[in-house]
Amino acid sequence: MIVGGHDHDYERFAPQAPDGTADSKRGIREFVVGTGGKNHRPFGFPKPNSELRDATAFGVLKLTLRPNAFDWQFIPEAGKSFTDSGSGACH
pLDDT score at 49: 96
pLDDT score at 70: 97
Number of structural domains the chain divides into? 1
Domain region containing 24: 2-89
User: What CA dihedral angle connects 38, 45, 53 and 88, to 10 degrees?
Assistant: -120
53 touches 25 (CB < 8 A): no
* Single-letter code of the amino acid located at 80: K
In this model, does residue 91 exceed pLDDT 90? no
Identify the band that residue 88 occupies on the pLDDT scale cut at 50, 70 and 90: very high
Other C-beta atoms lying within 10 Å of the C-beta of residue 56: 12
pLDDT tens-digit series, residues 61-84:
999 999 999 999 999 999 999 999
Number of helices followed by number of strands (H, E) in the chain: 0, 7
pLDDT tens-digit series, residues 17-69:
999 999 999 999 999 999 987 788 888 899 999 999 999 999 999 999 999 99
- List 31's β-bridge partners, or say none: 3, 12
pLDDT score at 82: 97
